[in-house]
Structure 1
Amino acid sequence: MKTIAFTNQKGGVGKTTSAVTVAAAAAERGADVLVVDLDAQGSSTELFLGRAPEGLGLSDVLAGGGRWADAVVTGREPGAIGEGSGRIDVLPATEGLTLFEESLAESGDLWAVGKLVASVRKSDRYGLCVVDCPPAIGRLSLNAVAGADLIVAPVTLSSLSMRGIVRLRQMVDAVEGALGEVPRVLYLPCAVDARYSETAEFLDVLHQAFGYYPEGDVLPAVRTSSAASRSYARALTAVEYRPDGRLADDYRAVLDTLSEHGSLALPSPAAA
């Protein structure tokens, strides 16, 4: 099982959309997926479950107050995203995440998420773990960076979003300074609109700075689409809302690229 942390220090860049759509695309091809919702806003939880369930939540598990297997809630049953599709389970965000982050700030712990991921991996229950991080630099995000196998940073092609990359690098450098190593960071251009010259200019800057994956760190771009907001309003991922739409296709292409070059090990599209 590989763990991908989707993070950016600016909101509104497609972080949650990327996390849930990649999870759905992986399940579509037959993988069982665990979504860990570290964002106290609970957007991933709301999409897959409708609302945060009562009882044991992610903050309790991270604090050592319960077993992750007892807190997991199924968001999509096997077969729900198409014939042969896998299960999507969710470790739901709860209000306690805010208080738990404060306790992490006091203790300096960087391994709460890493210990959770290690326990999930031992169960051999999932082919992929997706972590939806908070849109801010904080101890939960630092923990996600420390515990992931791969970091994907969705970015929109604007000056504000590009400055978010600098803050992300500062966070990664902080984890590296504490632990000595960090996962690879990849950048995912989102909401790309070829009609605007500014978009092409920023995309060129991104490629010049980081290069094309797999030699470099910039993944295939995801085009702008109204399916992002329309699907969320219906509590669906883009893969479910419009399976033949460009948003679903673009995220499938991202998943294919990661699989083809060894960053992930998932069933092939033909086997889905």
Structure 2
Amino acid sequence: MQTIAFTNQKGGVGKTTSAVTLAAAAAERGVDVLVVDLDSQGSATELLGPDAPPAAGVADVIGTGPDERGRDVPPARWSDVVLTAREPGDVAPGSGRVDLLPATDMLVASEEHLYSTGDLWAVGAVVSGIRKTGRYGLCVLDCPPAVSRLSVNAVAGADLVVAPATLSSMTIRGIERLHQLVEVVRDDLGEAPRVLYLPCAVDARYSETRRLLSEFEGAFGEYPGGDLLPAVRTSSAAGLAFARRQTAVEYQPDGRLAQDYRAVLGVLAENGAVHLPATAPLA
């Protein structure tokens, strides 16, 4: 199982859309996928999860520290908390399953607990345990849009970090904060995963967008030699799909958003960052 953390310390850049759409694109190719929602806003949970708020979530698996009486609360087993988001065949004919470790309000308590303990490996320990079961081919971590202990934990536990980014000068600040976060992991653990950048909501009709994209390409270089993934074009499908609680792959399979994320998945698969079934054609 490979684990990809989707993170950017600036909100509104397509982080959750990228996480769930890539997960759906992988499931479409026959991969069994686990989505872990580490963002207390719970957007991935709202899209993929049940109608009613889940009674337990990933916070209970990570740990929330002592209760109000100071008593230790043992972490829950991930298998008791995981939810089925899409059964096999739901995303597309022959698709894999999509499961969800949902977000709940208790993620705030997990954040405080991780801050007090200084633990950088709580999420990594959960991911490692899940990997040993062989149940999934891909794990996607949807991270909070902030420099936080949960974000640091996600980076520490990931094989690869993907940073969705809109092409604006403000994005640079988010990238700088992400580099700081990765260095925290490197300093503490001695290594850190590779970071790739994913341009989102790109509208090449505008000269300013083309200029910024060219600057990004010059700064990072195209993957795999560089760190810039293929751009995702702007599309209204993201909001429309979310309103229907669908991924873009389900909502508009032939639309540009689904096509672009399939292309991103294909590039990652061609270079070994994601493993697809041998029978699945690459984008």
Normalised-by-shorter TM-score class: over 0.9
Distance (whole Å) between structure 2 residues aligned to residue 153 and residue 52 of structure 1: 30
Distance (whole Å) between structure 1 residues aligned to residue 154 and residue 102 of structure 2: 15
Q: Which residue is 2:102 aligned to? A: 92
Counterpart AA for 2:216: L
Answer whether contact 1:6 1:151 (CA < 8 A) is retained.
yes
Answer whether contact 2:81 2:101 (CA < 8 A) is retained.
yes
Superposed displacement of residue 51, structure 1:
4.5
Q: Which residue is 1:242 aligned to? A: 252
Distance (whole Å) between structure 2 residues aligned to residue 167 and residue 2 of structure 1: 24
Q: Are residue 124 (structure 1) and residue 134 (structure 2) matched?
A: yes
Superposed, 1:21-32 pairs within 5 Å as: 21-32=21-32
Q: Deviations over 1:130-163 (max 9, x none)?
A: 0000000000000000000000000000011122
Superposed displacement of residue 201, structure 1:
1.4
Superposed, 1:208-247 pairs within 5 Å as: 208-247=218-257
Superposed, 1:163-174 pairs within 5 Å as: 163-174=173-184
Answer whether contact 1:45 1:52 (CA < 8 A) is retained.
no
Counterpart AA for 1:209: A
Q: Which residue is 1:55 aligned to? A: 55
Counterpart AA for 1:251: Y
Superposed, 1:1-272 pairs within 5 Å as: 1-51=1-51, 53-63=53-63, 64-267=74-277, 269-270=280-281
Superposed displacement of residue 50, structure 1:
4.0
TM-score, scaled relative to structure 2: 0.94
Answer whether contact 1:52 1:94 (CA < 8 A) is retained.
no
Counterpart AA for 1:236: Q
- In structure 2, the CA distance between the partners of 1:225 and 1:42, relative to structure 1 (3 Å rule), is same
Structure 1 consecutive aligned stretches of length 4 or more whose deviation exceeds 6 Å: none
Larger mean Cα displacement after TM superposition, 166-175 or 10-19: 166-175
Counterpart AA for 1:240: E
- Count of aligned pairs: 272
Superposed displacement of residue 238, structure 1:
0.3
- In structure 2, the CA distance between the partners of 1:199 and 1:89, relative to structure 1 (3 Å rule), is same
Structure 1 counterpart SS, 2:92: coil
Superposed displacement of residue 128, structure 1:
0.3
- In structure 2, the CA distance between the partners of 1:52 and 1:106, relative to structure 1 (3 Å rule), is farther
Q: Deviations over 1:98-121 (max 9, x none)?
A: 111011111100000000000000
Superposed displacement of residue 56, structure 1:
2.6
Distance (whole Å) between structure 2 residues aligned to residue 200 and residue 185 of structure 1: 23
Larger mean Cα displacement after TM superposition, 107-116 or 201-210: 201-210
Identity %: 66
Distance (whole Å) between structure 2 residues aligned to residue 138 and residue 182 of structure 1: 16
- In structure 2, the CA distance between the partners of 1:87 and 1:80, relative to structure 1 (3 Å rule), is same
Distance (whole Å) between structure 1 residues aligned to residue 52 and residue 178 of structure 2: 28
Structure 2 counterpart SS, 1:244: coil
Gaps spanning 5+ residues in structure 1: where? none
- In structure 2, the CA distance between the partners of 1:38 and 1:173, relative to structure 1 (3 Å rule), is same
Answer whether contact 1:47 1:236 (CA < 8 A) is retained.
yes
Distance (whole Å) between structure 1 residues aligned to residue 111 and residue 16 of structure 2: 19
Gaps spanning 5+ residues in structure 2: where? 64-73
Structure 2 counterpart SS, 1:74: strand
Counterpart AA for 1:106: S
